[in-house]
Structure formats: C-alpha cells, structure tokens
Structure 1
Amino acid sequence: MHKSQRLIRLMMIVHAKKSFTIAEIAYELGVSPRTVSRDLMELGELGVPLYSIQGRGGGYKLLNERALPPITFIESEAIAIYFAVRSLHYFGALPFGDQAESALDKFYHHLPSDAKKQIDRLKNKVIIWSPNRPMSDACLTVLLQAVMIRSAVTIAYRSSEGGVNTRDIQPIGLYSDRGYWYCPAYCFARRAIRLFRADRIAEAKLNNSLTYREDADRKSLLDWEEEELDHQEKILFRVRLTQAGIRKLEPNGRFEGFIERQDDGNGFIRMSIPIKKLAFYTDMIWALGQDAKIVEPAEAIAHIKRSIADMAKLYD
C-alpha cells in the first residue's frame, strides 16, 4: 500500500474508532508500530485533532470537534449542497449557529473556478424567504445536541403571559414554521409531550441526571402529536376555498391531504380538529380574507364575526 493510500485509510480508521492504540492500527494496516507513529504525526500536522492518553492501556483519542475525512463530490452534487445551505440564509436563527456559513465558505473555496462561476450566477437569483424571527442560536444548538446525544435539557421558558419558569424536557426534534422554531418534547413536570416555541426559551442546558425515556425517543416529528390528539375531543371543520385560497393554504402542512379541488378550480376543506385548537385553525382561515369561508362549526363562524367587528372598530 502506497503511503498516500495508507494515510487516507488511517484517517478513515481514526474517525471510525475515535480512540485506539498504535498496536491496533498497526495490526489492521499490516505495518509496524513505528510506521503508524510517523503516520499519526503527519495526520496531526494536517489538522486531525489527536491527543495521546497516558498511562497503562493508553493510546490516542480524537477530539470531539474533529475534522472529517475528505469526500469527493461530482459538480452537480457540489452545487446542490451549496444551494441547500444557502436556502437557510434568511432564517433568523439556526440550530448550528454560524457554522453553516463557515462550512459553506470552506466548501466554496475548494470548488473549481467554473463551478464557482455557476454558483455565483445563482446568488440573488433564487431566494427562499423566511420571516426573520429573533431567537437564541445557543438554545437551538443545545436542543439539537440533546436529540443527537440522547440527553434531557433544563430550560428557562417564558410563557405567553410573560412569566418565566424552569422545565426539564426531553426534545423529540426541531421544526420551523413561518420563521419560528418549535420543539416538541416530553415534559417531565407534566408527564406528557408538550410543544415549546424556541424563541420563548431564555436559556437551555443539557441535563444528564434525568433518566432518558425510550418511549419519547421513539417519537418523531411526524407522529409526536398523534397519541395526544387521539384522546382529545374533536369537531368537524369545513371551509370553502377560492383558487387563490387554495394556493395560499397549500404550503401549510397542517392542511396537507385535506384540501380537495373541484372542477371549477375552487375547493374545500373537511377535517376533524381538536376543539381546544378551534381558534388557532379559525385564525389561519381568517388570514385568507375573501378567499375562504368557514361553513362549520358555528363557533368558528362566531369567532370570525367577532374578529370582523373588532377590525371594524379600528376604522370607526
């Protein structure tokens, strides 16, 4: 095996094992321990963050913030990755802070000049807008890290009334909707899954002292709400939509699968929703203005009429 091939192979082994002894690597590569020692020194000079473990049974260990081995992309893959990261540019906060931009700068720097020219042509030509909601990158990072390493989190949470209380939670995941980040999580105080808005989290710290719940860990962003909704009283929600109303509502994932089109291009919604969320769904329809009309329930129609009356008072 040539030296260059051996170094690449060594780098892959090091990142896979994270901790190892020279004897283990020498046996796996079929070379002498002295050769492995020299190769490890070269990897260190190339920026691979290794440190030695002293004492009996010692060896080498990779730091947590380790450099990943090189990966080869074809040109179209490189452009796709660059575009995917740039699509996050207009978020007010990201769960990995400024590291996305840092990674993108490195990625762009090593592209061939013709690929850079193609990417430069895309700048300000394709934009994915997102409302810029101010929130803490640090808190988002802790929530994401908790999911990855299977840890609970202690948060300081601001309620809608303005008070702040401490909660111990086990995050299920993170999702973004209209610029806000949301975190469904098991709440140890409520002994149930609750939804937390990330911009209301004033502080977040990993808490490994709490017993990790496997049942909550099996939940995903696609099914975390199902068990809770199954036990809630429901009500039928019907809405007529114009063509414009359909276009406005289609991007909203809450109505996915419930919008039905008619031959004339208009459509309607027929779905069962939890009674306690009736005002929430009604307000989303209210935002569509004349492009949507609620047919039932009567409580939703009354809510709309009150909203219209309150709006009219502003212009008296």
Structure 2
Amino acid sequence: MLKSQRLIQLIMIVNARKSFTVPELADELGLSKRTITRDLQELSELGIPIYSVQGRGGGYRLLQERLLPPITFTESEAVAMFFACQSLQYFGSLPFDEGASSALHKFYHYLPPDIKEQINRLKNKVVIWNPLRSMSAKCLRTLMQAIMVRSVVTIEYDTGKGAERRDIQPIGLYASQGYWYCPAYCFERKGYRLFRADRVRSVSLNDLLACLDEVDKKSIFDWNVDELNASEKQELIATLTPMGVRSLEENGWFNEFIEHYEDGSGEIRMMIPVNKVSFYAEMIWGVGEAARIIEPPEAITYIEQKLKMMRQQYKVQSKLINS
C-alpha cells in the first residue's frame, strides 16, 4: 500500500473512533507498531488533532472535532459549493462558529488555478442577498448544539415587555428575511412557541429537564401543524402586483398559496388562525403598495392602524421641520 493511501485510511479509521491504541491499529492494518507510531506523528504534524492519553488504559484520542476524509468534486460541484458557502456571509450571524469561512478558505486554496480564475471572475457578480440583522452568534450556536445533542435549554427572552426566563426544547432553526427563528416546546407555557433568535439575550444547556420524545419527532415543517389544525380559521385574501408576487414568493408562509396570473400579478387565498391575523397582516404590510388585503376585515383594520400611526409620525416630523 502506498504511504499516501495508508495515511488516508488511517485518517478514516481514527476519525470513526473516540479512542484507539497503536497495537489495535497495527493489527487492523497489518503494519508494525513502529510504522503506526510514525504515521500518527506525521498526521499530527499535518494538523490532525491527535493527542496521547497517558497511564493505564491510555492510547490516543482525536481532539475536538473529528475530521472528514478527502472528497473529490467535479468542476461544477466545486463552483456550486463555493457560492453556497459564500452566500452565508450576508447573514448577520451564523450558528457555525467560524466553520463556514474556514471551510471556504480551505476549499478555495486547493482548487486548480483555472477554476480559481473562473470563480474570481464571478466575485461581486453573483450574490445571494439577505438583510443584515444583528444577533448573538453564541446564542445561535448553543441553540444548534441543543438540537444536535438533544438537550433542553434555558433562555432569557426579550418579549417586548421585558425579559423572561424560559425552559425550551428547540425543534430546529430556520432563517427568513435575515432573521433566525427557533420553533420550540416551552415548558413554562406547556405548548409550542416560535422564538426569534435576535431576542434571545442568553442561552445555556439545561441537563435537569428531560427532552420529550414527541417534541424530538417534530421538524421545521410540521412543528405547529396540530395547533393550526385545532384553531378556528378564517380566509385571508390579498391581491398582489408583480412586485408583490416576487416579494412574497420568497416568504415560506405564503409561497404555496399564491395564484399566478399571466401579467405577473397574483392573489393569495389561504386559511389562517383567527388569533394570527396580525402576524400575517404584518408580513403583507412589509411589501407596501405591492399588496392589498381584501379579507378579513380585522387584517384591513390592522393595516389602517399602521397607516394612521405612520401619518401621525410624519405629521409631527413635518411640523418640526417647518417650525
């Protein structure tokens, strides 16, 4: 076996184990203990985080994160991976530490020169925009860790009326319009709630509360299905200009309910919970004159109140300017 093949095989073996010894590896690979010791030393010098455990029952361990074996990509796959990672830079915060930028740097560094040149020509010419929102990357990372290790977390949450302590079991994380959201089961409210990550002031893993199996089975796509099905509903109808269609097509709450017309305009018809009217009206308000709510009356009243507040605000501003 070539040395390069042997080292790659060794990386794959140690990556799959929490701990290992030189005799174990020597027996498995059919090599001498001296060769295995030398190979481990070489892997360590190459940056593989291997460390030795002294004493009885010792051996070696892989420090911190495990490493993936080498993967080959086609040219089109390489370009796709590069821009998939690069698109994340427009988020205000990410739950991945510095992993995304570090992986992108490594990935780009080892690309062939001609592929690098092609990617360089696309820089600042292909961009995936996201509104830049400020939030705690540390909180995002802890929420994602809780999902990965199946743990309850204790959060301090800004409700708009002050901070509240909550014990929650996160179901997932998703981003929309630059914000990160975390649907979760709230032990205080004994029900499912949607938390906006930028309102989470602090978060820590809580080992004192056991995770609920039924919550663990939920996903981003079905976490509130039971609540929505049980709620009293009414129809939301809104007409959309072509700009309104393009804007709300990107919104996961509306996209599947938009009926498209030949001229590019459209219409939304969907059933919504009665107690969520302001939530849906607020999202439609965000596209301005590109949408007009037809039903229900409560949603129209909500928009009228928003307009009244805006007019009052600018009326005060106008008086200050003219005084």
Instruction: Give TM-score, length-normalised by structure 2.
Output: 0.90
Equivalent residues of 1:167, 1:189 under 8 A apart? yes
Gaps of at least 5 residues in structure 2 are 316-323
Aligned to 2:20: 20
Aligned to 2:284: 285
CA distance in 1, matches of 2:56, 2:111: 45
Aligned partner letter, 2:135: M
Aligned to 1:84: 84
Which deviates further from its counterpart, 60-69 or 106-115? 60-69
Gaps of at least 5 residues in structure 1 are none
Shift of residue 35, structure 1, vs aligned partner: 2.6
CA distance in 2, matches of 1:50, 1:263: 62
CA distance in 2, matches of 1:158, 1:288: 26
Q: Structure 2 vs 1, CA of residues 224 and 80 (structure 1 numbering), >3 Å: closer, same or farther?
A: same
Query: Quick check: 1:75 aligned with 2:70?
Result: no
Query: Quick check: 1:64 aligned with 2:64?
Result: yes
Aligned partner letter, 1:53: V
CA distance in 2, matches of 1:94, 1:135: 9
CA distance in 2, matches of 1:8, 1:292: 57
Equivalent residues of 1:48, 1:66 under 8 A apart? no
CA distance in 2, matches of 1:177, 1:264: 27
Shift of residue 314, structure 1, vs aligned partner: 4.0
Q: How many residues are aligned here?
A: 315
Equivalent residues of 2:248, 2:255 under 8 A apart? no
Aligned to 1:261: 260
Aligned to 1:177: 176
Equivalent residues of 2:94, 2:137 under 8 A apart? yes
CA distance in 1, matches of 2:40, 2:313: 73
Shift of residue 263, structure 1, vs aligned partner: 4.8
Aligned to 1:305: 304
Equivalent residues of 1:19, 1:60 under 8 A apart? yes
Aligned to 2:321: none
CA distance in 2, matches of 1:285, 1:48: 51
Shift of residue 152, structure 1, vs aligned partner: 1.9
CA distance in 2, matches of 1:11, 1:123: 34
Aligned to 2:318: none
Which deviates further from its counterpart, 190-199 or 68-77? 68-77
CA distance in 2, matches of 1:123, 1:19: 43
Aligned partner letter, 1:82: F
Q: Structure 2 vs 1, CA of residues 241 and 213 (structure 1 numbering), >3 Å: closer, same or farther?
A: same
Q: Structure 2 vs 1, CA of residues 42 and 248 (structure 1 numbering), >3 Å: closer, same or farther?
A: closer
Aligned to 1:141: 141
CA distance in 1, matches of 2:226, 2:103: 39
Query: Quick check: 1:42 aligned with 2:14?
Result: no
Shift of residue 249, structure 1, vs aligned partner: 1.7
Which deviates further from its counterpart, 144-153 or 238-247? 238-247
Partner-residue secondary structure (3-state), 1:89? helix
Aligned to 2:31: 31
CA distance in 2, matches of 1:262, 1:113: 47
CA distance in 2, matches of 1:224, 1:85: 28
Q: Structure 2 vs 1, CA of residues 239 and 84 (structure 1 numbering), >3 Å: closer, same or farther?
A: same
Which deviates further from its counterpart, 133-142 or 257-266? 257-266
Which deviates further from its counterpart, 147-156 or 239-248? 239-248
Instruction: Give TM-score, length-normalised by structure 1.
Output: 0.92
Aligned partner letter, 2:193: R
Deviations 1:194-247 (A, max 9, x none): 111111111122223321222211111111111221222211111222333222
Deviations 1:106-140 (A, max 9, x none): 22222222111111111111111111111111111
CA distance in 2, matches of 1:263, 1:2: 63
CA distance in 1, matches of 2:66, 2:286: 48
CA distance in 2, matches of 1:314, 1:58: 70
Partner-residue secondary structure (3-state), 2:57? coil
Equivalent residues of 1:47, 1:67 under 8 A apart? no
CA distance in 1, matches of 2:134, 2:307: 30
CA distance in 2, matches of 1:189, 1:90: 35
Partner-residue secondary structure (3-state), 1:204? strand
Which deviates further from its counterpart, 124-133 or 201-210? 201-210
Equivalent residues of 2:151, 2:207 under 8 A apart? yes
Q: Structure 2 vs 1, CA of residues 208 and 295 (structure 1 numbering), >3 Å: closer, same or farther?
A: same
CA RMSD in angstroms, aligned pairs only: 2.0
CA distance in 1, matches of 2:313, 2:158: 30
Q: Structure 2 vs 1, CA of residues 48 and 309 (structure 1 numbering), >3 Å: closer, same or farther?
A: closer
Identity %: 58
Shift of residue 315, structure 1, vs aligned partner: 4.9
Aligned to 1:122: 122
Aligned partner letter, 1:202: R
Equivalent residues of 2:152, 2:167 under 8 A apart? yes
Partner-residue secondary structure (3-state), 1:87? helix
